[in-house]
Amino acid sequence: MQKSRKTRLRTFRLEEELDSLLQKDAESKDISVNSLLSIILTKYAEWDRYVEKFSVITMKKESFKTMLSAIDGDKVTDISQELGDKVPSQFILFWFKKNTLQNYLKYISLICKHGGFAQYEIEQDGREYTITLIHELGEKWSNFLANWMNAGMKSTIGIVPRIDVMQNSVISRFTAP
């Protein structure tokens, strides 16, 4: 049974054009405007308010894939290791104030959910963890994710994962300390 969260009633004014847009979008998603606003505000709380401070850009997936295909595979590996060594720790410390396994898993969840890195699943069986990342960007992105995750886990939480790389997916397995 799902635990219900406390809610608070808020009333605010919207321009008619914005209200019409929200109603149209909510209808197309078959949800209420209230639910749509909750989704929007949750994304703001989990993602937007933080990434604004990191100068993050948004790009069409096809454009990113085209740029990635123009980069040599060895260079992708170098870049992913360099970024994996520093970026996860920077984000985790900024968001959660402490590098821990649970915060690393939250980070993976947020960058996949809101940053578009991949679709993801995190499974746990006792101390054994499996993180599965699935995407549509090809082998170079899989290699990037594998090296980035390997370097990131080593530098932030001191764990060296076992990683399997496929054309459009990466599976990372590790045992928690």
Q: What is the pLDDT of residues 49-77, one digit of tens each?
A: 988 888 888 899 999 999 999 999 999 99
- Residue 134 pLDDT: 98
Q: Which residue has the tokens 């949750």?
A: 42
Mean pLDDT across 136-143? 96
Interhelix angle 73-96/139-157, rounded to 10 degrees, is 40
Cross-strand partners of 169: 134, 166
- Residue 1 pLDDT: 54
CB 112 within 8 A of CB 147: no
- Residue 3 pLDDT: 67
- Residue 22 pLDDT: 95
User: What confidence category does residue 2 fall into, taking pLDDT thresholds of 50, 70 and 90?
Assistant: low
Residues 6+ apart with CB under 8 A from 45: none
Residue in 89, 85, 109, 108 with CA at minimum distance from that of residue 97 = 89
Q: What tens digit of pLDDT does each residue of 4-40 get? A: 788 888 888 999 999 999 999 999 999 999 999 999 9
- Residue 7 pLDDT: 86
